[in-house]
Amino acid sequence: MMKNLLKTAVVGAALVASSVAMAQPAMASDLSWTFSDGVISYSDSTNKFCVRAYDSEGARQVTATITPTGGGRSVTVTDKNDYYGHPGGTCIYLNSSYVSENTSLTVTAKSYWGERGTWVGRGSRTITT
């Protein structure tokens, strides 16, 4: 009897804990994504999204397209390096006119290196604002 009561209590506690966890709002996330031609970053505390093509070895470009995961208006950010006369990165703010808090976004990246002469797809990452 006591053994069954203990099992029932443990299962009940697990159900309560899982339902509380599922009711929590989505957790915001930061992003730091580095690959051979540059870096993409997002800081949730400032809503700042940056793309940077490395300033070395000739012409480089990095492009990131940000799309709400459920669909909607996408935004594309491209940074060209110092070869094009643009050292540093290119940043935008993902403010409330574009996305609201706890919005899931898919970031898709591609990069270009002049010596390679082609664009390379870098895949996708998901962030939550």
CATH number at residue 33: 2.60.40.10
User: What integer is the mean pLDDT of 4-21?
Assistant: 41
Residues 79, 51, 128, 99: is their CA dihedral positive or negative?
negative
Residue 89 is predicted with a pLDDT of 95
CB 61 within 8 A of CB 80: yes
Residue 96 maps to a domain? yes
Residue 29 is predicted with a pLDDT of 85
Residues of the chain with pLDDT > 90, as a percent, come to: 58
Burial class (CB in 10 A: 0-12, 13-18, 19+), 81: buried
Residue 2 maps to a domain? no
Reported confidence tier of residue 27, pLDDT bands at 50, 70, 90: low
Residue 54 maps to a domain? yes
Residue 10 maps to a domain? no
pLDDT per position as a tens digit, 29-61: 899 999 999 999 999 999 999 999 999 879 999
The angle at the Cα of 128, spanning 22 to 124, to the nearest 5 degrees, equals: 120
Reported confidence tier of residue 21, pLDDT bands at 50, 70, 90: very low
Residue 14 maps to a domain? no
Residue 6 maps to a domain? no
* pLDDT exceeds cutoff 90 at 95: no
The pTM for the full model equals 0.75
Residue 98 maps to a domain? yes
Residue 99 is predicted with a pLDDT of 77
Q: CA-based Rg of the chain, rounded to a whole angstrom?
A: 21
CA distances from 128 to 40, 67, 102 (A): 15, 11, 6
Integer Cα distance of 111 and 118 in angstroms: 8
Residue 11 maps to a domain? no
| Residue 123, domain extent | 28-128
Total structural domains within the chain: 1
Residue 71 is predicted with a pLDDT of 80
